[in-house]
Chains A and B, each alone.
Chain A
Amino acid sequence: MTWYELDHSRLVLEYLRVSRSYPNCVLNRASDATLFWTGKSTIEVGPIRPETMAFRVDYPEDFPATYPNAFIVRPELPPEEVGHKWHRWPRRGSICFVMPKNWQIGTTADEIILKLEDWYFNYIALKNGLIEEMPEVGRAILPGEFRANG
Chain B
Amino acid sequence: MPLDLAVAVAEAETTAGWFGGGTLQSEQVFAVTSAQIGTDTKYTGYFDQLFPHRSLDAIEGSFREKLAPWRKIRPDTIESYRPYQWFETTQLSSELSLEDTEMGDNKICLCVIERYDEGPKVRAFLIESRADSSRLLPMEVIMVPRNPDPYVRIPAELIGALLDKRVTIIGAGSGGGEVALDLACAGVGQIVLFDDDRLHSENYIRHILTKREVGRMKIAGVKDAIRERCLPTKVTGHELNIVLWADKFRESLSENRPELVICATDSRDSRRLANVCCVVFGIPLVIAGILDAGRIGEILLVRPGESACYECIRMGLGATLETPESGERSLTPYAGGEEADLQFAVQRFDVGFVSSIATRVALQVLDPSSYGRLPADYLIWGREKSAEYSDPFRFEHPLSLNYVPLSKRDDCPVCGLPNTDLEGLDIDEEFAEIIADLGKLPA
Contacts and interface: CB of A to CB of B under 8 A. Distances in A.
Contacts of B311: 105
A15 B273 contact: no
A52 interface: no
A19 B442 contact: yes
B434 interface: yes
Give the one of A9, A15, A26, A64 with max B CB within 10 A: A9
Contacts, number: 100
B438 A105 contact: no
Contact of A26 (B244, B337, B421, B440): B440
Contacts of B13: none
Interface string B235-255: 000000011111100110010
A148 interface: no
Contact of A13 (B414, B421, B437): B421
Given A101-B337, A106-B413, A11 B434 contact: yes
B421 A16 contact: yes
Interface of A is mostly: mixed
A62 interface: yes
Give the one of B245, B281, B421, B437 with max A CB within 10 A: B421
B33 to A, nearest CB: 50
Contact of A24 (B251, B281, B323, B441): B441
B259 interface: no
A86 B322 CA distance: 24
B268 interface: yes
Interface in A1-37: 1-9, 11-13, 15-17, 19, 23-29, 33, 35
B246 A65 contact: yes
Given A11-B434, A104-B413, A2 B247 contact: yes
Interface stretch (B213-221, B295-303, B422-430): B422-430
A28 B438 contact: yes
Nearest to B250: A1
B431 A12 contact: yes
B246 A62 contact: yes
B228 interface: no
B75 to A, nearest CB: 65
Interface in B290-320: 311
Contact of A3 (B245, B246, B337, B413): B246
B109 interface: no
B304 to A, nearest CB: 13
Contacts of A27: 434, 437-439
A71 B294 CA distance: 40
Nearest to A62: B246
Interface of B is mostly: helix
A66 interface: yes
Contacts of B425: 12
B417 to A, nearest CB: 12
A44 interface: no
Give the one of B272, B275, B277, B431 with max A CB within 10 A: B431
Contacts of B244: 61-62
Given A27-B434, A27-B438, A102-B322, A12 B427 contact: yes
A65 B413 contact: no
A76 to B, nearest CB: 24
Contacts of A2: 247, 250
A3 to B, nearest CB: 7
B12 interface: no
B147 interface: no
Nearest to A5: B250
Given A15-B442, A62-B273, A9 B414 contact: no
A65 B272 contact: yes
B439 A26 contact: yes
Interface of B: 242-247, 250-251, 254, 268-270, 272-273, 275-277, 280-281, 311, 322-323, 337, 413-414, 418-419, 421-422, 425, 427-428, 430-431, 434, 437-442
22 contacts: A1-B254, A5-B250, A7-B276, A8-B427, A9-B422, A11-B431, A12-B434, A15-B434, A16-B422, A17-B421, A27-B434, A60-B246, A61-B246, A62-B242, A65-B243, A65-B270, A65-B273, A65-B276, A66-B243, A66-B269, A102-B322, A105-B276
Interface of A: 1-9, 11-13, 15-17, 19, 23-29, 33, 35, 60-62, 64-66, 100-102, 104-106
